[in-house]
Amino acid sequence: MLKIGLDVGSTTLKSVVLDTKGQIVYKKYERHFSQIADKVIGMLSDIARSFPKEKFAQLSIAGSAGMGFAEQVKIPFVQEVFATKAAVRAFQPDAEIVIELGGEDAKILFLSGVMEVRMNGSCAGGTGAFIDQMGTLMAMTPAEMNEAAANHQKIYTIASRCGVFAKSDIQPLLNQGANKEDICASIFAAVVNQTIAGLAQGREFDGNVLYLGGPLTFLSELRNAFDAALKREGVNPENSLYYVALGAALVNNDDALILEDTIRNIRLLGGNRDYISLPPLFRNRDEYRAFRKRHDQNAEPTDAPLTDSKRAYIGIDAGSTTLKAVVLNENEEVSFAKYLPNSGNPVPLVKNFLEEAYEKFPGIRIVASATTGYGEEIIKNAFHTDYGIVETIAHFTAAKKYDPDVDFIIDIGGQDIKCFKIRCGAIDNIFLNEACSSGCGSFLQTFAGALGKSIEDFAELGLLADQPVDLGSRCTVFMNSSVKQAQKDGATIENISAGLSISVVKNALYKVIRVRDTESLGDHIVVQGGTFLNDAVLRAFEQEIRRNVVRPGLSGLMGAMGAALYAKERASDEGRIESTIMNRDGLADFTHSVRATVCNICTNRCRLTINTFDGNRRFIGGNQCDRPVRSKSDKPKHNIYEFKKTLLREYGDVNGVRRETIGIPLVLNMYELLPFWHSFFSTLGFGIKISPPSNRTLYLNGQHSIPSDTACYPAKIVHGHIEALLDKKVDAIFYPCMTYNTDERLSDNHYNCPVVAYYPEVIRSNVKRLAETKFINDYVGIHRPKDFPRKIQPILEREFGSVALKDVERAAKNAYAELAAYLNAVNDKGEALLELAREENLPAIILSGRPYHLDNEINHGIDRFIAEEGAVVLSDDCLMRRYEKFPTAVLNQWTYHARLYAAAKFAADADDPNLNLIQLVSFGCGVDAITTDEVRSILEAGDKIYTQIKIDEITNLGAVKIRIRSLFAAARQKTGVYHV
């Protein structure tokens, strides 16, 4: 009798056959391309053929895509981690830790001591699919990535929790010309980081490590990255791809089946179709033909001759995944266009484009040129184009050409979704996708790739699908599992393809734009961007909003068109007659080289890429601020964030007079309460040590004890601060739980959010090293100043022996006074800055968030970026004198959030076009799901544009800058000043 184990993974099918002695007599591995039933039948038939004498077999199925299938065909199912464990026990009994990465799963098994098994939760970054996705972006196969990574010099920090974040980290690196070798190695390092952070959860890696699963079998560099991180050498055993299948075969004690009957059974039961479906995109070919005919009317040539004057305008859109470039003639017709995948480096593509243009039009007179997109700056620097404009304005400029009355533009590109509402000829509102609301072109591309198709073929498959799968709308990672579920339910590729196109549209409408009533989009809708080139997506969009839209003939080129049109308009305003763009001779001598380095100016330690053009011109990318690239500060900066930081630095370490030294972590609410506790403890004679400023290394030092990876970054970084205090050997760490914040009379209650209130409990429960010192995390209420001294006194006495109540009372008095003085100073400064902005007619931004958004590592220098753009940076806590309580549509019960609403109200009512508000939102902040909608309502009631910036562990400042620049551009449009 044979023992067969089948492992139906998310992308591959593996099988193993054991004989009665437990020897492996057969194994096979192949991709199943979603055709699970067919492939299983094929494999079992092959087994039957290979062992003609065996009629009976014990058969069981494991694997993430195998569960539903097993139920359907009535074959025993073995959970895959459990199967792995059984196989490891049988074949590698010495292994103590198993790390297994699969297509969409990551697992760690701790087998020694207290056995623990961990699987990645619903955020599935850092898996095989993640590597595939990154490969698509790099235009490399995983094997090529492995090869490249072997020769790396440097590791860049790349977010791996979410493919969306990772892409936005990688894209700028590519655009800045970082080496592929380094990027590939960084991607592997990110996967390692994610696996350890997400799954180890405080457990140390002590013992022999075993590497299993596809990615770890095929990618030696990934194994090396794990070895480096774990500081030990793991083993990749023979048959490492087959452990799940082996385990499935081993665990089975069921009755034997007749193999042939089983195959017949699967054929009978395996193909059932049972999933939630949507109406088809087109009911028949005729409907599709009519649709094509309507849209084909907008077709436009891309080879209009130059006019007699030979004058031309060049627009280049160096997007995240594609490069678009056009030459417009004097009549604004396209004479020459390129639409190319940028493969990570736009510079040579632009060079080719220009060369071809010069070749094609010998007498061309380029009057003006402009660049836009992610690569705007590098292209501008490399080729001396005249202008750079923010993408949003480029697209609007182009759309106006097709429909002067356009009131809504939606652009779905490779990585971005951009939508703008136009009102009175100006951009009124901008929506950009952010993490977890991302389903763009590259998303379709990744799926197409996983199913072995090109994106065009893949999307086309869906056009005539009869029952598109309802996949909902969610981030890519979740979508993977939705597709998996659909595959399990027997959906065909056609129906999955149609379902994905529909989900891209729904995602854009309901997640990014957050549209409630599709009527409100307007009557003149222009759609553009590469993704809309797919008829399936376009059709899904029209179906969803129940109205026809305009897809310009050159919808993929709109950014470049807009840039060229902008260049033309601006040249005519300025009377420019010749562009500075590099001429034919310049191109012939053009050279480009790249070097990576680290900026040492501040603690951010930005990884810089230094591009050198023509041997002497430098362009630096990767910088978070302009310090490494400017020679001397030209404009004075007005930034309340810097001011607050300077104030807080006053509360530094002090030596104790007669008491122990207390460590205070500068995290979360401590960013505001530091003056209070500092004064309190120093009055009592305690020494004080403050945790050092946050940075990435500090975070990584504490990462291993984070129990919930989906908590916000400001909370997760607390672990690093605690480790740093432990290193300082303080006598006690004081980090109290605080359900309540102080009452500022702006709200109905004065809570802290649950995370701010109770994170000390997480620290107590998860940081083992706390045994080295005292950890004081009692529940403390400074909202009742009268009760506070008598409530905290017993806590102090418990930890430090006798402390007189009257001393505590005096210390408390000082503490309250110190906090008031600090807030007063902040507000004095705020008032002064606001006055200055008004006097000098400067734009002012209330950069609102929470006190802890002051942390550089958390805000990624966004405050400095805004200040460098010439705006006065204010905060929601520096204009408190101007706030009053007002009714909100949501329950206003958190102290920090009340400030936010009040600040929004102030900005909305201020009747000051120069004053705007930007809300910083930390990824994972559940409370901000409520505040953001409310702040938007308040601002929009006052005709203000709402801008939200989501920040996480790693944030791509490129996207942030687009947002901020768009806000400035839109505000300028409103005030009537069109040009920068």
Site for another protein in 126-155 (CB under 8 A): none
Residues in region 782-841 near another protein by CB under 8 A: 783-784, 786-787, 790-791
Q: Report the nearest approach of another protein to the CB of residue 469 (Å).
A: 12
Q: Is residue 714 at the binding interface for another protein, with CB under 8 A as the rule? A: no
Q: Is the CB of 479 or the CB of 866 nearer to another protein?
A: 479
Q: Is the CB of 115 or the CB of 424 nearer to another protein?
A: 115
For another protein, which residue of 829, 924, 947, 962 counts as binding (CB under 8 A)? 924
Q: Is the CB of 614 or the CB of 787 nearer to another protein?
A: 787
For residues 514 to 553, the per-residue mask of contacts with another protein, x marking binding by CB under 8 A and - elsewhere, is xxxx--xx--------------------------------
Residues in region 757-786 near another protein by CB under 8 A: 757-759, 761-762, 764-766, 777-781, 783-784, 786
Residue 779 DSSP symbol: B
Rounded to the nearest 10 degrees, how much is the dihedral formed by the CA atoms of 17, 21, 23, 29? 10
Q: Is residue 121 at the binding interface for another protein, with CB under 8 A as the rule? A: yes
Q: Report the nearest approach of another protein to the CB of residue 739 (Å).
A: 6
Of the chain, the end-to-end C-alpha distance in Å amounts to 79
Q: Report the nearest approach of another protein to the CB of residue 930 (Å).
A: 5
**H or E element in which residue 222 lies:** helix 220-230
> Which range binds another protein by CB under 8 A, 59-67, 190-198, 554-562, 962-970?
59-67
Q: Is residue 437 at the binding interface for another protein, with CB under 8 A as the rule? A: yes
Q: Is the CB of 116 or the CB of 828 nearer to another protein?
A: 116
Q: Report the nearest approach of another protein to the CB of residue 3 (Å).
A: 13
Q: Where are the alpha helices (DSSP H) in 767-847?
A: 788-800, 805-840
Burial 277-308 (b: 16+ CB within 10 A, else e): bbebbbeeeeebeebeeebeeeeeebebebee
CA dihedral (47, 53, 54, 55) positive or negative: positive
| Number of amino acids touching another protein (CB under 8 A) | 103
The DSSP annotation for 557-571 comes to GHHHHHHHHHHHHHH
Residues in region 275-314 near another protein by CB under 8 A: 276
> Which range binds another protein by CB under 8 A, 338-346, 582-590, 843-851, 922-930?
922-930
Residues in region 607-646 near another protein by CB under 8 A: none
Residues in region 395-424 near another protein by CB under 8 A: 421
Among 530, 174, 163, 607, which residue's Cα sits nearest to residue 374? 174
Do 595 and 400 meet the contact criterion of CB atoms below 8 Å apart? no
**H or E element in which residue 422 lies:** strand 417-423
Do 186 and 76 meet the contact criterion of CB atoms below 8 Å apart? no
Q: Report the nearest approach of another protein to the CB of residue 974 (Å).
A: 17
Q: Is residue 928 at the binding interface for another protein, with CB under 8 A as the rule? A: yes
Q: Is residue 204 at the binding interface for another protein, with CB under 8 A as the rule? A: no
Q: Report the nearest approach of another protein to the CB of residue 711 (Å).
A: 5
Residues in region 880-909 near another protein by CB under 8 A: 887, 889-891, 893-894
For another protein, which residue of 219, 450, 726, 755 counts as binding (CB under 8 A)? 755
> Which range binds another protein by CB under 8 A, 170-178, 438-446, 456-464, 707-715?
707-715
Do 181 and 152 meet the contact criterion of CB atoms below 8 Å apart? yes
Q: Report the nearest approach of another protein to the CB of residue 600 (Å).
A: 36
Query: Is residue 23 classed as helix, strand or coil in its secondary structure?
Result: coil
For residues 67 to 86, the per-residue mask of contacts with another protein, x marking binding by CB under 8 A and - elsewhere, is xx-------xxxxxxx----
Q: Is residue 268 at the binding interface for another protein, with CB under 8 A as the rule? A: no
Name the residue type at position 490.
G
For residues 215 to 244, the per-residue mask of contacts with another protein, x marking binding by CB under 8 A and - elsewhere, is ------------------------------
Q: Is residue 3 at the binding interface for another protein, with CB under 8 A as the rule? A: no
Rounded to the nearest 10 degrees, how much is the dihedral formed by the CA atoms of 229, 234, 239, 242? -50
Q: Is the CB of 475 or the CB of 557 nearer to another protein?
A: 475
Q: Report the nearest approach of another protein to the CB of residue 118 (Å).
A: 10
How far CA 867 is from CA of 250, 430, 638, 662, in Å, comes to 64, 21, 6, 36
Rounded Cα distance between 237 and 240, Å, is 5
Name the residue type at position 906.
F
For residues 458 to 477, the per-residue mask of contacts with another protein, x marking binding by CB under 8 A and - elsewhere, is ------------x-xxxx--
Rounded Cα distance between 509 and 576, Å, is 41
For another protein, which residue of 45, 941, 978, 980 counts as binding (CB under 8 A)? 941
Rounded Cα distance between 882 and 879, Å, is 6
For another protein, which residue of 33, 51, 288, 740 counts as binding (CB under 8 A)? 740
Rounded Cα distance between 960 and 253, Å, is 57
Q: Report the nearest approach of another protein to the CB of residue 779 (Å).
A: 3
Among 831, 891, 816, 860, which residue's Cα sits nearest to residue 964? 860
For another protein, which residue of 356, 569, 912, 940 counts as binding (CB under 8 A)? 940
Rounded Cα distance between 937 and 946, Å, is 9
Sheet holding 661-664, edge to edge: 687-690, 661-664, 732-734, 774-776
Among 399, 449, 434, 447, which residue's Cα sits nearest to residue 508? 434
Rounded Cα distance between 580 and 582, Å, is 6
Beta-bridge mates of residue 94: none
